[in-house]
Chain A
Amino acid sequence: MSHLGDRLSALVDGELGGAERDRAHAHLAGCEQCRAEAAELRALKQKLRSLTTRAPAEAAMTSRLIAMTGTGGPQPARRRLLRAIPGTAGGPQSAGRGSLRPGLPRPRRARRRRALVIGAMSLVVGLGTAAFTAGGGGEAVPGPKVTPQVELYGVEHAITTGGLPITGPPAPLNSEANATAP
């Protein structure tokens, strides 16, 4: 015997037409399982109706409390309730396609993904900064390290010029450092 299936929900909602409704009632009279299911649907419908008639502040509080549980977030309360009740239209059949997939809830995954992106970017920026700093300075050219022997050079310069072998200051260079001086 085939049960009412989706027509049961339509029957409870009063959406079936005359002949269709009569056939459904006839089936319910002889089917214990469909009668029980119809009773559950009616009870659920009653609950939902009572939820929607609560005060708005209370509904908002309920939403916040649901969100605080961390299992649903800002989803409509009706859908979550439907998913939580097995045997309903939003029950186990549809739960496998929804947010009850195995794994972490969507917000937590997003946070983890964002953390990964930020971490990767930080690593790239840090590494780049370190490489840029380390890559500064003069080109590494092979050859001995030479410290100019100023005294030696100064004497030679003095002989060249016919002057004195002294490293006295003639005038400051026209350097950028001096350019800032008054």
Chain B
Amino acid sequence: MSAFSSPLSRRRDGRGSLLLAAVLAVTVPGFLVAACSAQGTQGGQKAPGAGQEAAASAGTQGRKQSSQRAVRLLTEAAQAAVLTSYQGEEIVSRWGSGTQPTVLVSEIWHVSGGQTVTQTLQPGTGSSGQPYRSADNDAQTPEGVLGVTAPLVNLLKQNYVLAYAGSGTVYNRKAQVVEALRGDGSLAARFWLDNATKLPLEREVFDLSARPIGEDEFINVSVFGRAAISAPAGGVDDPQGPWTGPLPPARLLTLRSRGWLVRPALPDDLSLFTGAQTTTSSGTVLDLGYSDGLSVISLFEQRGNLPARLAGWQKTTVDGKVIYVTEPGQRSMTWSSKGMVYTLITDAPAQTVSAVVGTLPHDAPPGFFRRLSRGLAKLASWVNPFR
């Protein structure tokens, strides 16, 4: 990596390592504690009584109480998503540049503290895709509903002002409403949390211009005893492969010293909150998860270079950087730089994605003479009969 090419870079890298170690030491154990504490606090905490308390009350005490109540409700929702056995239908809507959202529907079965099975309807066909099964027995990679997990609630608490916004109704289910506000007071997200099960029922996400960019709903929710729920047969066990994670901070620091790009943070308050690793036929893949509590960016790294042709990908330019994106929607993007292939998968707003792509490594286009020299060498190699 170029960061190790000069003494200055090494000094900077050393500071970066210290910073990374400090961040990981503070954040990752916090997430683990939060996730583990979810196991211990099982048992129906009573839902807060319905009321129209003003979330943004004038007094400091009122705001503090509102914030504490919002945090408690979200924490309970994250716990319920792990500890409750439930079945439901998750509808994810995403707005792009057009007025019509892209809607995706999945059936979800979850056994308390155990496996989650997700079967996604193929968009536009009405048929179901292959269900996949994943386990979260260790509770260190807690799956959630509508993105409400313990680590993300913790980040949400750090990066946004959480406020209790009263009660509401979602598909005839009574819910408590929690809002996430930016520092300037603008609304970033709104959550509806089920009174009865504590599970998240709906989440709305807004961009900086207050335009809705995402709406997730969890409907037709049924809660079962542990033995009562049965997932559909034929599910694939861990089709995603043997991901090892979350990686401890020491492991991440080791990977960084070996040339992997492990940054403690990305633009727009995106913090590194998890890491995982797997081995594929083409080598080791490192997954680093960054989030501000609402948006998540998964950065996948793999040593190598992109092939000359990428089927299913489209070449585009983001802030002057040439990358490849999947169609439709450009939700996944990839490029290679200095022997490393970077792939981003994210649901973050476009501005955030552009900022992140801009700060990650890219190969600078060669200068005129450098390019000419390379071309002459290539032409010479083509006509060299002795090569």
Complex formed: what's the CA distance from A113 to B368 in Å?
Answer: 31
**Is A148 in the interface zone, CB < 8 Å from B?**
yes
Complex formed: what's the CA distance from A150 to B285 in Å?
Answer: 12
Complex formed: what's the CA distance from A137 to B147 in Å?
Answer: 39
| Known contacts A159-B141, A171-B94; is-contact A135 B372 (Cβ 8 Å) | yes
B-chain residues with CB within 8 Å of residue A122 when the two chains form the complex: none
Chain A contact residues (Cβ within 8 angstroms of B): what range?
35 or more
**Which of B48-56, B65-73, B343-351 contacts the other chain?**
B343-351
CB–CB A150/B326 < 8 A: yes
- Most chain-B CB neighbours within 10 Å: which of A130, A154, A160? A160
Residues 143-182 of A, flagged 1 when their CB comes within 8 A of B and 0 if not, give 1111111101111111111111111111111111110010
How many residue-residue contacts, CB under 8 A, span A and B? 237
Interface on chain A toward B: helix, strand, loop, or mixed SS?
A: loop
Complex formed: what's the CA distance from A164 to B118 in Å?
Answer: 8
CB–CB A157/B296 < 8 A: yes
| Known contacts A144-B303, A145-B307, A148-B334; is-contact A157 B373 (Cβ 8 Å) | no
Chain B contact residues (Cβ within 8 angstroms of A): what range?
35 or more
Residues 289-315 of B, flagged 1 when their CB comes within 8 A of A and 0 if not, give 101000010101011111100101000
CB–CB B328/A169 < 8 A: yes
Complex formed: what's the CA distance from A134 to B94 in Å?
Answer: 42
CB–CB B274/A160 < 8 A: yes
**Is B102 in the interface zone, CB < 8 Å from A?**
yes
Residues 58-77 of B, flagged 1 when their CB comes within 8 A of A and 0 if not, give 00000000000000000000
For B240, give its contact among A141, A144, A155, A178 (CB under 8 Å). A155
B interface residue numbers (CB < 8 A to A): 81, 90, 92, 94-97, 102, 104, 106, 118, 120, 123, 132, 134, 136, 141-149, 152, 207, 213-214, 216, 239-241, 243, 274, 276, 278, 280, 282-283, 285, 287, 289, 291, 296, 298, 300, 302-307, 310, 312, 316-320, 325-326, 328-334, 336, 338-339, 341, 343, 345-351, 353-354, 357, 363, 366, 368, 370-376, 378-379
A interface residue numbers (CB < 8 A to B): 127-128, 130-136, 138-139, 141-150, 152-178, 181
5 additional contacts (CB under 8 A) given A132-B371, A172-B97: A145-B305, A146-B282, A148-B341, A160-B289, A170-B348
